[in-house]
Amino acid sequence: FITHSSKLEELKNGAFLLHWSNGHVKSVYINQNEVVSMINLKKGIASLFQFQLTSQEIKETDASGGCKVVYTNLDRNLVEKIKSNCHPQPELPHIRHPQQLWSAAVSSKRRSVIVLSSDLAAVESIDSEERHQLAIPLREEAGGAILSQQGIKLQEKSSGVALIEENTIDAAVKNIEKYTGQSFAKHPLSLTKENSACTDGTCPSFYSLVKENREALKTGNLGTIRSASAFVKLLNVARESKKEDLVKTLKNSKNKNILFQLMDLMGAAQTTDSHEAALKVLNFKSEESLDFNERYLWSLSLGSHPVNDVIKDLIRLMEAGPYNEKLDETLVLTIAAMTNNLKKHNGTSNEKTVKDVLKMLESNVKACPSDDSCHLKYMRAFKNLAAKESIPTLLTYTTTGSKRVSVAAFNAIHSFPVSFWSPDVILAAKRAYFQLDRRYDSSARTLALDILLENSPDEMLLSELLLSLKSKDPAYEVKQYLVQRLNQIGQSDKNLISSVQALLKSLNLKNYNILSQKGLSTAFTRSFMNHPSANGTLSTIQEMSGGIVKRGLVDVIIDREGSNRQSIFTLGLFAGGLSSFLSSDENNPEEEEEEEEETAVAGMDLSVMGVQVRPFVFFTGQGELMGHVWSGTASDKTSAFQALTLLQDHLQYIPLESGFIAELTLQGGISFDLSGK
């Protein structure tokens, strides 16, 4: 707890006037030479005198903002006033995370009691109390609270006060100004936000604060709490800093070794100044700057409240391309991810941007040449955009695209919320899994199967899926995948496993040759965290082909009752054309044919906080593979993804009836270092 001393007695403090009419304070007249703090304090006192004498429910505006107010007569001369649903007027800056699990929940209670004299001619006392509590869904035992109390009591009565008779309020105020020698300014009851306490230059600059935390920001400290703490400490200063100070810091040669982490900060700050400062340092045309460019774009894509103008500027940059192939994809994925977060915040301009980006992606994917790389880039972009309106386009590519494009389209649809899955999606998934209209790649079939199983399948569909286990389908790994996924989902869905058990019995499928399918594909879930607030699970899926992993997935998930499951990190591996290095599968000519057509390839897919980043390809073709083997580079430790980002980001200002504006801030940083060999 930090002790603060009050400067109230040092401030200019003169008399002030209220324009009161039928229980409403129309305006407040305060000495125009008084500072904002004193003005707000007097608005708080004035708000006490706004009350009604009869039981009713109305809307009022006072120091708390615009509120729903309920008045209740507790006795002849006793009135209770309860305020709720208060909104600052004018609206104050705020940051709210669109994902419930990472957000902060703020609850408020405001109550006043007005005691009148027995003849109802005077106010005896007014007591006001309000409580505001900030709770963290992810960690309910942590949080904060504000208690504000205010009271006024009648000390004495006097008579013989001279009345001022004028035709207007303004004329009456002018008369009082002559009498008191003061000059009054008219104010509404709503509070005014004071400027930052650092306008006098007493607070440390971003430049100096980076200097103090330079050691903590070094790459060697990534993946530790030290770097995450320094990141959070610097973030607020970065958000308040001007472009010039940010550019000065980024260009400082002493910060060269921490420039990647400073790019994380520029992206997380999510301000126009930080974006312009980053672009002053980055060079999108330079191959040498690729890693810095991508690091900044990754940070932008993870922000919870993107700036509309920044998205538009990135679109401008994209249209000014092309750049390096990798940078082109990262730029498109970033625009899509930022737009996805933007559409979670209301606003007419936001809606237009979302429509424009969707239209741009659909237009660009249609213009792609015949090679897969362009189509795959936009399939991943549609995944990041997560727009329901993109499903018809994705469904088209599940059937008309190449094997890899079809898989990517199904992967994008599978990543969408279940509520987005229309009957057309389910029909397309059935066609793919059962291969009703053509042959599909096994990965497309398993992804289609995931959609069917996660959409609460009815008894008829479950019967069809179970009967497929005894079909002559040569793709035994797909059938093994079905068995594994039924067991995995059944661990948490008791209704599903109960239906499966009943159907196995009624369909005479409960025997060894059905339930013990040939194949190495696996799917299981393990818990790594049990907490009253939330649970953590590791979900692992491996689709095999010819004895080697074709599609692997490890998903780190946080789950809380009453809110959607949130993926923190998803690591995916993909490979193809490698079965010949291990064995030949004479019993599965279908998979063998697929492998013969496919170029040897392997790589890694990453999704961070639900955002897909550009895949990392280890090698393409047998030549590159053997080059890694003979050179020994396959054993070198390689960093695939490093980043500092915000897990929680909440800022809320609450105007208190006492005349102060409370600031509630919650920030949680996370430091990533994914390396391997």
Structure tokens at 298: 């990754």
Number of Cβ atoms within 10 Å of the Cβ of 235: 20
| One-letter identity of residue 369 | P
Q: Which residue has the higher pLDDT, 90 or 61?
A: 61
Task: Answer for the pair 83, 51: CB distance below 8 angstroms, yes or no.
Answer: no
* Residue bearing tokens 């002030």: 16
115 φ/ψ angles, rounded to the nearest 5 degrees? -110, 125
Output the CA torsion 89→91→94→99 (10° steps). 90
Provide the mean pLDDT of the chain. Answer: 89
CA distance 63 to 57: 18
State the pTM of this model. 0.88
Read off the pLDDT of residues 92-108 as tens digits, 9 standing for 90 and up. 888 888 888 888 989 99
Domains of the chain from N-terminus onward: 8-187 (2.30.230.10), 520-636 (2.20.50.20)
* Mean of pLDDT values over 158-187: 88
CA distance 674 to 676: 7
> Closest Cα partner for 518 from 488, 478, 551?
478
Of 134-143, 318-327, 389-398, 519-528, least confident by mean pLDDT is 134-143
Please state, for a pLDDT cut of 70, what percent of the chain lies above it. Answer: 92
pLDDT at 329 > cutoff 80:
yes
Read off the pLDDT of residues 395-425 as tens digits, 9 standing for 90 and up. 999 999 999 999 999 999 999 999 999 999 9
The pLDDT value given to residue 563: 64
CA distance 148 to 655: 11
The pLDDT value given to residue 580: 63
Of 59-73, 173-187, 190-204, 608-622, least confident by mean pLDDT is 190-204
Q: Where are the alpha helices (DSSP H) in 422-520?
A: 423-434, 442-453, 459-467, 476-490, 494-506, 512-515
CA angle, residues 184, 185, 189, in degrees to nearest 5: 120
Contacts 24+ apart (CB under 8 A), 512-519: 513/470, 514/466, 514/469, 514/470, 515/469, 515/483, 517/469, 517/476, 517/479, 517/480, 517/482, 517/483, 518/476, 518/480, 519/476, 519/477, 519/479, 519/480, 519/481, 519/544
| One-letter identity of residue 645 | T
* Mean of pLDDT values over 217-226: 94
* Mean of pLDDT values over 208-231: 95
DSSP SS3 for 173: helix
Read off the pLDDT of residues 144-162 as tens digits, 9 standing for 90 and up. 999 999 999 999 888 767 7
Read off the pLDDT of residues 593-616 as tens digits, 9 standing for 90 and up. 555 556 777 888 999 999 999 998
Contacts 24+ apart (CB under 8 A), 510-514: 513/470, 514/466, 514/469, 514/470
DSSP SS3 for 71: strand
pLDDT at 653 > cutoff 60:
yes
